[in-house]
Amino acid sequence: MTRRNRKTSILAAVVAAALSVTMAGCSSGSGDSGSSETGADGWSRAYEGTQLNVIGEATANTQILEKQLPDFEKKTGITVNLEQAPYDSLVQKAVLDFTTHKGNYDVLSIPYEYLGAFAEKKYIAPENDFLKGDAKGAGDDFSADDIIPALWEASSKWKDNWYGMPSNSAVMMMFYRKDLFDNADEKVAFKKKYGYDLAPAKTWDQYRDIAEFFNRPKGAEAGGAKLKDALHGVTVAGKRHVATVLEWMNYSWTKGGDLFTDGKPAINSQANVDALTYEKELTKFAPKGFTSATWDETTADLQQGLAAQAITWGDTAGAMEDKSASKVVGKMGYADIPVEKEGDKPEAHLGSWTYSINADSKNEEAGRLFMAWALSTTTQKALAEQGGLPALTSTFTDASLVSSLPYWKQELQSLKEAKSRPRIPQWSGISDAMALALSRALSGQTSPQSALDDAQSKIEDLMSGSLPVTYQ
């Protein structure tokens, strides 16, 4: 070896050594358990330098959370790599990670209908001590009592274990064009035609009447102005997609139907058939593209002022009030979903996601801190202010938010009326069969009865060996 070569190789060795030392420091091996420094605000800095991989649904909530990440890094010294993916893709990535046991994702925001499946297969780790115990390492602005109990239980509890904290929640409610309803001329015309006062629908019959009333072509008058585009009485999700299933379940529940009765599939019950027939009726007043519409399209329709009513997701309310894109800022009203008979108890479909820790994760403790931070008052208030949906009672009752966000009161109200769909492992198959049946009936390919009959037999096949369903 020449002198020059030798110098180079020594230098290389030194650099390599230095690098490996620093790498070791940054590598995702866990440090010791929380006994070192704590920040001023109570957040533990024991896992400083860890890199967390988190994945969440590509919706408003997650996007807002991403903007808040620097706050977490400042508090705990943990860096977060946040990936966002649409529903189907996220589930596929999660399952892939779980089955290969690589632990690529530390924290996953999973849709609660998969909670049962993942819990039973032990893909995610129960966190009872942390969640229901001392929340060790979490800061001062986190309080477990503040999380809305019904929401927490629906999203994160399975059998006797708690698996995480609510990440996204969205509850369905009725959106309506308050400005049109308040218009004096419309009130008069409506009373004349239907014999009762125009008001946000409380029953399904009223909902239908109002849909018919406000279904008008381009050029007609509405609310005192000429319509530049046709106005539709409602907008409905009708694509062969889970969105359609979730919307329909509202009609079903309020008319006395459900997917399971006494633990057995009751898909083609009379109440369900009625609910589907009713929804098909409504589509007469829906925009022409409803058979390929999901929640994205219905949101766009409302936002662009093309529909007068909808049964849709509360977390799209922010889009309605978005000054940069919405044509209906300040014009939307938010109310309970109608019921069958006056006096019935309202119900609202709750969709919830939960943060969970990958059982193969090497950063379990850091992951817990992340969950707690996401549910801390600071983060949740920021979430609410930017149009997302929080999970804390205090945020919902915060005076400044109540006054600045027109939909705030209704959100809390609806959350209190929330009902969950089955969180059993066979959900994806059930949802698939239902999506097919509903889209076929709504597009007129088959009658509601025969569509639901088909779904009934399919779901019975799917559930064979797992009946009766005792826990969902």
Partner 1 sequence: MLGLVVLFPLAYSIKLSFQSYSPIIPNHTGQWVGMDNYQRILHDGDFHHSLIVTAIFVVVAVSLETVLGVVVGIAIDRLRRMRRFATSALLLPMILTPLVVGLMFNFALNAQFGYLTWVFNTLHVAGGDGVLNGSVGALVALIFIDVWEWFPFVALMVVAGLQTIPKEPLEAASIDGASTRQVYWHITLPLLRPILGIAILFRATEAIREFDKVFVLTGGGPGSATAVNDLYQYRVSFLNWDLSYGAALGLVTFAAVLALSFLMYRSLRRKETAR
70 exposure class (CB count in 10 Å sphere: 0-12, 13-18, 19+): exposed
Contact string 292-331 vs partner 1 (x = CB under 8 A) = x---------------------------------------
Residue 55 has which token pair? 């994945």
CB 254 within 8 A of CB 344: yes
Nearer to partner 1, 206 or 277 (CB): 277
Spatial separation of the C-alpha atoms in residues 338 and 345, rounded to whole Å: 9
Note if the bond before 346 is cis, omega within 30 degrees: no
Query: What is the Cα–Cα distance from 33 to 35, expressed in whole angstroms?
Result: 6
Q: Is 246 in the site for partner 1 (CB under 8 A)?
A: no
Quick note: the x/- pattern for partner 1 over 96-135, rule CB under 8 A, is --xx--------------x--x--xx--------------
The whole-angstrom separation of Cα 14 and Cα 20 is: 10
Residue 395 falls in which region: left (phi positive, over 0), alpha (psi -120 to 50) or beta: alpha
Among the listed ranges 73-81, 91-99, 134-142, 199-207, the one in contact with partner 1 (CB under 8 A) is: 91-99
Give the span between the Cα atoms of 460 and 136, in whole angstroms.
Answer: 45
C-alpha–C-alpha distance, residues 98 and 114, integer Å: 13
Nearer Cβ to partner 1 (195/465): 465
7 binds partner 1 (CB under 8 A): no
- What is the nearest approach in angstroms of partner 1 to the Cβ of residue 358? 14
Q: What are phi and psi of 174, to 5 degrees?
A: -95, 125
HSE, CB side, 13 Å, CA atoms: give it for residue 105.
28
Separation between Cα atoms, residue 337 and residue 418, nearest integer Å:
11
Q: Does 440 bind partner 1 (CB under 8 A)?
A: yes
Shortest spacing between CB 7 and partner 1, in angstroms: 42
Of 237 and 320, which has the nearer Cβ to partner 1? 237
Residue 289 CB, shortest distance to partner 1, in Å, is: 4
Report which of 451, 431, 31 is spatially closest to residue 245, judged by C-alpha positions. Answer: 431
Number of residues that bind partner 1 (CB under 8 A): 32
- If one asks whether residue 95 binds partner 1 (CB under 8 A), the answer comes out as yes
Q: Indicate the residue among 88 and 185 with the shorter CB distance to partner 1.
A: 88
Q: How far is the CB of 156 from partner 1 (least distance, A)?
A: 19
Q: Does 291 bind partner 1 (CB under 8 A)?
A: yes
Side-chain half-sphere of 81: how many Cα atoms within 13 Å?
9
Does 240 participate in binding partner 1 (rule CB under 8 A)? yes
One of 25, 29, 219, 289 touching partner 1 (CB under 8 A): 289
Positions touching partner 1 (CB under 8 A) are 88, 92, 95, 98-99, 114, 117, 120-121, 238-241, 287-292, 425-426, 428-429, 432, 436, 439-440, 443, 445-446, 465-466
